Structure 1
Amino acid sequence: MPNTEKVTAVAEIVDHFNESSAAVVTEYRGLTVKQISQLRRDLGRDTTYAVLKNTLTRRAASQAGIAIDDSLLVGPTAIAFVKGDPVEAAKGLRDFAKTNPLLVIKGGVLDGKTLSAAEVNKIADLESREVLLAKVAGALKALPTRAAGLFQAPLSQVARLAKALEEKTPGEAAPAAEAAAPAEAADDDVDAAVAEAGAEAAPAAEAAAATEEPAADAAATEETPAEPAE
């Protein structure tokens, strides 16, 4: 390959690294062109599956500031550059490898952190970002149904609930493997905080109800004319 072509190829790989939140290194030895095309379709538009030369990939990774173990860049190499949800891409690669054992997941990089093949498979077992966000939205949506109790709850209980919700919502920049665990672990904290707040507020709510009932009865007596005596 002439030097100008190498420079252009390296620049393209650098762009892929810079524009991706994750990159999964695979070996595709033995896969047919048809199978690789099918894998690309399965991964979708947000993931680019590129067959690359190891020497050019090393150079591009160095220029992009990406640390990839040299042991991953041995043999026929193809990298999945993930611009969308890393969990969905990892699932796609894992599922394809199950039916096409010639595809070998060797490792990768997620938000600058080096991943082993086992860690890539663990990411594939996580829930997608959309599912996690839906859970958070569901928890927030459920709160207004208990708003009356929460408004009368002690400040300490409301603060605990807010903290639980904050811990349940992962930062967008956090790696998927680290962000999913706090979101799942905080489910019980949110429920407990809401329940505790409601329990604390119950006496106050009952007292308010007891105070309002006599007044309501009195108002009904005044407004309802007496039946004439026979």
Structure 2
Amino acid sequence: MDRAQKEELVTSLSEVFKSTSVVVVAHYSGLTVAQLSALRRQAKAAGATVKVAKNRLAKIALEGSDVAHVASLMKGPTLIAYSSDPVAAPKIATDFAKTNDKFVILGGALGKSALNPDGVKALATLPSLDELRAKLVGLIQAPATKVAQVVNAPAAKLARVFGAYGRENEAA
């Protein structure tokens, strides 16, 4: 990698660190290329990104960003998972760590807050942004349908009463 490529990588990483809401740092030593490719595919499907970058270049890119405190975790073979959704990257990393013993979560950052491995796992248990939106829409729609049922119920009861009187008068 020549100097221009390194500068380009640092620039792109610094933009990512300034715009992303969550970063997860993990060791990947001992994973095969196929396993790393599977992790990248899972992350892409969930709206997250997984990158392996040189620690020195990643530390330079971290300078001046809100997540700069994760630089202390950059020792050895590390990878970075990030996403704009605060739950996507931790969820992918945690799920992958459950099935692969060689993948070890070191920690991460949520905005300006530092996360230890347990914090990343706790964040992974939260529902994603899309799931929260779906629940919110369901909560908003539920009262509207109940109001419609309550408004329609008296009319339906009146119709049944009138129908009963009509049948009663026909029988007499």
- TM-score, normalised to structure 1, is 0.59
Q: Alignment partner of 2:69: what SS?
A: coil
Asked if structure 1 preserves the Cα contact closer than 8 Å seen for 2:29 and 2:103, the reply is yes
Q: Quick check: which has more Rg, 1 or 2? A: 1
Residue pairs, 1:77-116, within 5 angstroms:
77-83=78-84, 85-116=85-116
Q: Cα deviations across residues 160-204 of structure 1 (Å, max 9, x unaligned)? A: xxxxxxxxxxxxxxxxxxxxxxxxxxxxxxxxxxxxxxxxxxxxx
Q: Higher relative CO (CA 8 A, sep ≥ 6), structure 1 or 2? A: 2
Q: Cα deviations across residues 81-127 of structure 1 (Å, max 9, x unaligned)? A: 213x3323322211111111111111112223221111110011112
| Matches of 2:21 and 2:30, distance apart in 1 | 28
Judged with a 3 Å threshold, the aligned counterparts in structure 2 of structure 1 residues 42 and 69 are, in CA distance, closer, same or farther, namely closer
| Matches of 1:49 and 1:125, distance apart in 2 | 19
Q: Cα deviations across residues 40-91 of structure 1 (Å, max 9, x unaligned)? A: 00112522211111111111100434322443111111101213x3323322
Question: How many residue pairs are counted as aligned between the two chains?
Answer: 158
Structure 2 unaligned regions, length at least 5: none
The percent of aligned pairs where both chains have the same amino acid is: 38
Q: Which residue of the partner structure matches residue 203 of structure 1? A: none
- TM-score, normalised to structure 2, is 0.77
Q: Alignment partner of 1:80: what SS?
A: strand
Q: Alignment partner of 2:136: what SS?
A: helix
| Matches of 1:4 and 1:36, distance apart in 2 | 27
Structure 1 unaligned regions, length at least 5: 151-208
| Matches of 1:61 and 1:44, distance apart in 2 | 22
Asked if structure 1 preserves the Cα contact closer than 8 Å seen for 2:87 and 2:127, the reply is yes
| Matches of 1:56 and 1:22, distance apart in 2 | 19
Asked if structure 2 preserves the Cα contact closer than 8 Å seen for 1:97 and 1:104, the reply is yes
Query: Please, what is the CA RMSD of the aligned residues?
Result: 2.8
Q: Which residue of the partner structure matches residue 27 of structure 1? A: 27
Judged with a 3 Å threshold, the aligned counterparts in structure 2 of structure 1 residues 59 and 100 are, in CA distance, closer, same or farther, namely same
